[in-house]
Amino acid sequence: MTDSIRLIELAAITSHERAALMRRTEADLDDLMPKVDSIIAAVREEGDAALARFAQLFDRAPVEAHALKATEADFERAQHSLAPDVKAAIDYAVENIRTFHRAQLPESMWLKEIRPGAYAGEVARPIPSVACYVPRGKGAFPSVTMMTTIPAVVAGVPRIIVLTPPGPDGRVDDATLVACAAAGVREVYMVGGAQAVAAAAYGTATIPRVDKIIGPGSPWVVAAKRRLSHRLDTGLPAGPSEALILADGTANGALAGLDLLIEAEHGPDSSAYLVTDSREVAEAAIAAIPGYWQTMGDQRVDFSRTVLSGPRGGVVLAPDLDAAIAFVNDYAPEHLSILSDTPFDHLGRIDNAAEILLGHHSVLTLGNFLLGPNCVLPTGGHARTWSPLSVHDFMKRCSIGYVTGPGYAELARHARVLATYEGFEAHANAVSPTRDRILNGRAS
C-alpha cells in the first residue's frame, strides 16, 4: 500500500503543479451554489418545516418541525448515558479551554492621555447573540462544542445557541450535550448544513435569528456562509480540516507518519502534507503509514488514503529546509506541527499558520481537544490574515474619547485647519470661536 501515498519532489515540479498543491476543497464551490441557494430560499420561506424536511433528507433523521430543540430531558439522558471517562475528559478539557480564554480577555476599558487634557481609549463589550455550529457528518465533535461555546461564555455573550445536525436516532450526540452543559449553554437545536446557516441568518419560529455564526463545517456550510454574509457575521473561514507536518532531519520518520494521519482521517475533503528536507524522514514516514492503517477502522483508513493519494495530500520532499519553510508559509495551514529536536529554531521563520505546535510531544491531538488554545482555525490559506477563534470573536470594541477644557484649545486649532482644507464647514465651525462663545455664555 505504500504506492498509494503520494511523494512530491518539490524541486522537480512546475509552478503550476506547486499552485495545485495549495488548493483546498472549499475553493471549488461554484457547483454547490445553486443547490445552497434553493436550501436558503426554502428555509426563508418555510422555516421549521424546511429544517425538518432537510434533516430527514440529508441526515436521515426522524426530526419533526415542532421538536427541533433539545429538551431538558435530552440533557439529563446524556448525563446518565455518557461513559464516566468521557465526562471526566470533557471536564478536564473545559477547565483548560476556559483558563486559556480567560487569559485572552481584554481590559473592559482603557484610556490613554494622548495630549495634555485629551484622552482616548476603548471599551470592550460582548456581541448580542451567536450561533455555534458543531458539525456531525463524519462523527460527533464535543471538542468543537467546547471550543466554540466556552470563549463565547467567557466573553459574556447574552444569547448563545448551538446548531448541530441530528444523528440517525433524531437526537443530539450525548457528549455534545454534556459539553454544552459544562460550558454553560442550554439552547441546542438539531439542524445542520446550509440550512443551519440559513436559520441563523433569518430565524424561524423555533430558532432565533442571531448576529453571528461561528464554527467549522462542510463545503455546504462554507458556501452558505459566503452567500449569507450580508445577513450575519459569518466569522472566520473554517472549512474542511488541513494540516502540515514540518519535519527536519532530526525528526523520526515513523513519528511524522503517525502525525500525518491525524487530520487526514477527518474526511476525503481534508488536506494533509508532510513537508521535509530529509529523504530518510520522507521514506520512513511512507513506510510506517500502512502499519498504522492496520490499527484503524475501514472508514478512517479510506478517508486518509484518499487524502494522501489525492490532489490534497502526501509527502512533500523539499531540496532544503529553506524551501520547506517557504512551502509552509505559502500554504498558510490551519494546523502546523513542527517535528524537530529544536523546534523553536524554526518558529521565528513561520509567518503564516493558524496553529503552531512545537516539538515531538506537542501532538495535534492535544491541540484539537484540550490543550487550551482554540482548535477552530482559519482554513483555505486564510491564516495569512485571520487568527484562531478567540474571545475577541465574541466581543466588539468601542472607541472612546474625553477632552478637558484645558486640553481642547490645541486640538481644536489643528482640527479646524484640517476641516477647512477638506471643505467641511460644519466641522470647522464646531471647533471655531463660536463654540467658545456658546460655552462661555453657559458659564456666565
Residues carrying an active site annotation = 334-335
Please give the Cα distance from 175 to 159 (Å, whole number): 21
- Give the sign of the dihedral formed by CA 369, CA 372, CA 376, CA 378: negative
Helices assigned H by DSSP within 265-376: 279-293, 298-309, 321-331, 343-347, 364-369
C-beta separation of 417 from 175 below 8 A: no
Give strand pairing partners of 115.
Answer: 118
Helix (H, G, I), strand (E, B) or coil at 213: strand
Q: What is the 3-state secondary structure (H, E, C) of 198-217?
A: HHHHHCCCCCCCCCEEECCC
Please give the Cα distance from 171 to 74 (Å, whole number): 8
Query: 220 φ, ψ to 5°?
Result: -65, -40
Please give the Cα distance from 284 to 288 (Å, whole number): 6
Please give the Cα distance from 387 to 74 (Å, whole number): 35
- How many C-alpha atoms does 313 have within 13 Å on its Cβ side? 29
